[in-house]
């Protein structure tokens, strides 16, 4: 069991990476174990200051696909629009931890937002816009509504997706008026980031129900995290809880190689074994796609045998959506 982190060590981590915890999550931490699944996700840990050679400041290669500020255009038919780089909570394993919560470019200015929307308008192949960041649902309702209205005015944008932790970590931000605004932007999907069943509170469940009852469908994305959800029983409880709340598990992400996150990382073979263990054990509704964001900006790939194969040297060959192969070498925390 790791020793308790001192206040000085907490300050050292906070000087390097953003720290924030909402009252709802703080209550769960106080009520549970000091090193329980909620605490591990949000409380600073000195291991975050250990940076390994294979870790990258931009592990998913966003920068190489960013034609203008606030846009990531990695795939032909969809873009990320990041209007804000602030979150209500900061995950200790965040793959954008070098850029979120830093105070620099925390909010796209009006000129930058207009340029980003102009880019989307000028690219007729863009069918879907994914609002990310940062957490888009931390924006004021007025600001978010303005963005959604301007996206609706672009004829070729048919789908909007919002990725957020807010419904569970700050459920009081989900109001009926916000739900009406989101419903007016339909087809719009909210993708909830959730890694453990214990993140659900009564208030969080009500917030999710409010969105869904208003006609806003919800999906989920989770990250496979060592010591938090890397066993079949924990994943089963998480995915069942999501489906019971009418939220379809969408992605289970293999950990990205962000700096200071090696203590959260599992290996691909274990992730595969866990997803295989869930086959037949839970409904197909409860089974997300296990994916890797290929380092360097090559996009997501399923970690199935068709897309990822281990070579004789122990390294993986992973195939991207353009049918190119990439070497993925795994290192463990104690290497």
**pLDDT tens sequence for the chain (335 residues):** 455 666 777 788 988 999 999 999 999 998 766 679 999 999 999 999 999 999 989 999 999 999 999 999 999 999 999 999 999 999 999 989 888 877 767 899 999 999 999 999 999 999 999 999 899 999 999 999 999 999 999 999 999 999 999 999 999 999 999 999 999 999 999 999 999 999 999 999 999 999 999 999 999 999 999 999 999 999 999 999 999 999 999 999 999 999 999 999 999 999 999 999 999 899 999 999 999 999 999 999 999 999 999 998 889 999 999 999 999 998 765 54
Instruction: Assess whether 62 carries a catalytic annotation.
Output: no
Instruction: Assess whether 300 carries a catalytic annotation.
Output: yes
Which entry of 40, 45, 74, 135 is annotated as an active-site residue? 74
The model carries a pTM of 0.94
Q: Is the dihedral of CA 290, 296, 299, 303 positive or negative?
A: negative
Instruction: Assess whether 256 carries a catalytic annotation.
Output: yes
C-alpha distance across the termini of the chain, in Å: 20
Which entry of 17, 256, 257, 328 is annotated as an active-site residue? 256
Instruction: Assess whether 4 carries a catalytic annotation.
Output: no
Which entry of 17, 58, 87, 135 is annotated as an active-site residue? 87
Q: Kind of pairing, strands 188-193 and 289-293?
A: unpaired
Pairwise CA distance, residues 73 & 59, whole Å: 16
Instruction: Assess whether 315 carries a catalytic annotation.
Output: no
Instruction: Assess whether 91 carries a catalytic annotation.
Output: yes
- Which region, left, alpha or beta, applies to residue 253 given φ > 0 means left and ψ of -120 to 50 means alpha? beta
Around 120, how many Cα atoms within 13 Å sit in the side-chain half-sphere? 32
Around 195, how many Cα atoms within 13 Å sit in the side-chain half-sphere? 24
Instruction: Assess whether 75 carries a catalytic annotation.
Output: yes
């Amino acid at each position: 069991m790791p020793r308790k982190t001192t206040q000085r060590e907490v300050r050292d981590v906070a000087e390097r990476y953003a720290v924030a915890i909402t009252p709802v999550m703080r209550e769960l931490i106080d009520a549970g174990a000091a090193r329980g699944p909620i605490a591990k996700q949000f409380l600073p840990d000195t291991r975050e200051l250990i940076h390994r050679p294979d870790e990258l400041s931009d592990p998913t290669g966003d920068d190489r696909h960013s034609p203008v500020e606030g846009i990531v255009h990695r795939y032909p038919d969809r873009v990320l629009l990041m209007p804000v780089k602030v979150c209500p909570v900061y995950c200790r394993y965040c793959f954008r931890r070098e850029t979120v919560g830093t105070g620099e470019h925390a909010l796209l200015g009006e000129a930058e937002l207009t340029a980003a929307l102009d880019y989307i308008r000028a690219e007729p192949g863009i069918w879907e816009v994914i609002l990310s960041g940062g957490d888009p649902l931390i924006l004021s309702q007025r600001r978010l509504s303005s963005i959604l209205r301007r996206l609706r005015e672009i004829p070729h944008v048919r789908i909007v997706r919002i990725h957020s932790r807010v419904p569970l970590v700050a459920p009081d931000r989900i109001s009926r008026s916000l739900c009406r605004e989101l419903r007016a932007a339909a087809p719009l999907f909210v993708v909830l980031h959730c890694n453990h069943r214990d993140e659900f509170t009564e208030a969080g469940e009500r917030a999710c129900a409010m969105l869904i009852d208003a006609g806003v469908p919800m999906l989920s994305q989770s990250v496979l995290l060592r010591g938090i959800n890397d066993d079949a029983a924990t994943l089963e409880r998480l995915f069942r809880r999501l489906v019971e709340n009418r939220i379809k598990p969408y992605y289970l992400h293999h950990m990205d190689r962000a700096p200071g996150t090696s203590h959260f990382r599992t290996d691909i073979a274990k992730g595969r074994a866990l997803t295989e263990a869930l086959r037949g054990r839970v409904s197909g509704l409860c089974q997300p796609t296990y994916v890797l964001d290929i380092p360097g900006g090559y996009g997501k790939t399923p970690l199935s045998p068709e897309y990822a194969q281990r070579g004789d040297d122990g390294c993986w060959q992973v195939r991207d959506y353009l049918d190119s192969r990439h070497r993925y070498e795994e290192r463990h925390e104690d290497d």
